[in-house]
Amino acid sequence: MVMQSVTIATSRRFQHTMATILPIQCKMASTALDMSVKQLAELAEVSTNTIVRFERGDESKPRTIAALQTVFEKAGVTFLDGLYSGDGGPGIRLTSGAD
The whole-number mean pLDDT for each consecutive block of 10 residues of the chain, a chain of 99 residues, reads: 43 49 96 98 98 96 97 95 70 77
Question: Is 27 part of a structural domain of the chain?
Answer: yes
Which pLDDT score is estimated for 82?
66
Query: 16 lies in a domain?
Result: no
Q: How far is CA 31 from CA 1, 16, 18, 72, in A?
A: 21, 28, 23, 11
How far apart CA 6 and CA 58 sit, in angstroms, is 16
Q: Containing domain of residue 67, as a range?
A: 21-94
| Per-residue pLDDT, 11 | 41
On whether residue 76 sits in a domain, the answer given is yes
Please give the model's pTM, rounded to 2 decimal places: 0.75
> Is the residue at 12 inside a domain?
no
Q: What is the pLDDT, as a whole number, of residue 81?
A: 79
Confidence (pLDDT) at 55: 97
**CATH code (residue 26):** 1.10.260.40
**CA 38-40-43 angle, 5° bins:** 110
Whether 80 is covered by a domain: the verdict is yes
